[in-house]
Chains A and B, each alone.
Chain A
């Protein structure tokens, strides 16, 4: 069952001369882990803003085509309605934090939905611990580092346990190991709770291994859409200028030179190391 479906979606910001996204038709099935990538300014963030109705309700502008998220026509439901289904983590966490304490920020969404106190307490603690900021819960979100703020934004969304989590470069300020831990948490929730994940990222080295589905955008349009290994091994993908994981790229380079590595495209260093070891150990 598709939880996100768009048909010929096009959107122009108020005062914009050309559409920021154009002719976008995609389908995301329930429980998928989807990676959206593409050059800077290609429309990734704009597309994400459509998923919870920020476009068109908040940003105004002109939206054409169809968009259904969690069975709802986004153009007919306000953002607060969509928020029950779609949790968003934005690129710049400062824009989304406002409460006096981290704990209150994380609890905000639940308060609005009228959760019972105990349930709220349980969920907030759970989310704070998953995001690794339980110890910081009484601090102000504005006095912690950019990376910690990103953790707060992620915890706020996790606490809601929405059907769909949309994350727009959610760990850009975090160091790689912390980023990896966060991605592991999200991947785990995707697997265990079946939460659909839409992740916008440039750094495929870190994230390609989690995604079963990848969508590549360029100049507001979809230029590749499909199974991650298939798309990342395609020559065209490299030519668009997507930062293919080094392991995948090395595999591509070696196969081109005639080295017989198995047909499976590796997405991580572990997979690639295994393929090389197999090739050298075989008789």
Chain B
């Protein structure tokens, strides 16, 4: 469980990035943290694995205060995939990249090889096993970064902008994959701008603005809350954009799912015909 109580954080140069933020993420929850550039989303999640320590307030991961432990200690349980994969890739081959952390955690060679093969397969990277990560496309490098974290099987997974540079199919795979991780009881926190992706996955949504949490709740409610979204510079998902214009016909406004939209419209159409 991630338990954050009243944290503030100020970067050198007196830039206050977080202001009195409290948030609890239970085991097995799937949370999307959204908000405009500079809202403090990445700063917040960097507190989850101790990369940053709060200026005031406390962060506890499974009861352990992050100021009283090391990043290395935390990272066994908290996997972090950065926004820009180039900030975390450095090995000569994809295989070595994925094996690096496993080696550091002291896994035996057999387990390391098994986990590498498993992670490569999971993210459709098997053909790049011996390739340099820097020869791959942006979207593929992103998957290598994800694979290298998944390989050590952390309990809590933090993905900073996981859909950047990913095509439609990869996003669908990522979605299925998150569902699968959830069934394994993993906690997943994503930081994202991708409203369409969030609308499809329908996680709990935490909206941030200027270092504060301004809304927190079910995806369907937050992503159709015009005021809250406008204040956070988030655009409505396209289905919701359509339905906000249909209230004259008596349709609800809080629709984000395309299949729900289809059923609502077809039912109303049939009713009108009879």
Contact = CB atoms under 8 A, between A and B. Distances in A.
Q: What are the 3 A-B residue pairs with the smallest beta carbon separation, nearest first?
A: A243-B168, A269-B241, A273-B245
B195 A176 contact: yes
Given A91-B138, A259-B265, A276 B235 contact: no
A236 interface: no
Given A40-B137, A175-B233, A246 B165 contact: no
A145 B193 CA distance: 14
A116 to B, nearest CB: 35
A277 B35 CA distance: 32
B97 interface: no
B5 interface: no
A174 interface: yes
B167 A178 contact: no
B7 to A, nearest CB: 21
Interface string A259-278: 10000000011101100110
Given A241-B167, A243-B167, A276-B242, A250 B195 contact: no
Contacts of A225: none
A172 B262 CA distance: 29
A249 interface: yes
Nearest to B39: A175
A219 to B, nearest CB: 13
A148 B36 CA distance: 12
A169 interface: yes
25 contacts: A39-B167, A39-B169, A40-B165, A40-B170, A45-B137, A91-B138, A172-B164, A173-B161, A174-B37, A175-B37, A176-B193, A176-B234, A176-B235, A202-B167, A246-B238, A246-B239, A247-B241, A249-B258, A254-B262, A254-B266, A269-B238, A269-B245, A270-B245, A276-B246, A280-B269
A178 B238 contact: no
Given A146-B83, A148-B37, A241-B169, 11 more contacts: A39-B169, A41-B137, A147-B37, A173-B164, A177-B235, A203-B196, A246-B238, A250-B262, A250-B265, A257-B266, A269-B245
A273 B258 CA distance: 14
B234 A175 contact: yes
A43 B140 CA distance: 13
B234 A205 contact: no
Interface string B138-173: 111000000000000000000001001111111100
Interface in B218-240: 233-235, 237-239
A205 B238 contact: yes
Contacts of A241: 167-169
Contacts of A54: none
Most buried by A among B140, B248, B269: B269
Contacts of A175: 35-37, 193, 233-234
A140 B107 CA distance: 42
A2 B169 CA distance: 33
Contact of B242 (A41, A145, A177, A273): A273
B84 A92 contact: yes
Contacts of A31: none
B196 A92 contact: no
A277 B164 contact: no
B265 A276 contact: yes
B65 interface: no
A38 interface: yes
A178 B36 contact: yes
Nearest to B169: A241
Contacts of A45: 137-138
Interface string A139-172: 0000001111000000000000000000001001
Contacts of B114: none
A94 interface: yes
A172 B37 contact: no
B261 interface: yes
A143 B35 CA distance: 20
A180 interface: yes
Interface in B242-274: 242, 245-246, 248-249, 258, 261-262, 265-266, 268-269, 272
Contacts of B57: none
Contacts of B248: 277
Contact of A243 (B138, B171, B195): B171
A220 to B, nearest CB: 12
Nearest to B268: A280
Interface in A67-102: 91-92, 94
A91 B142 CA distance: 13
B103 to A, nearest CB: 28
A38 B34 CA distance: 27
B237 A178 contact: no
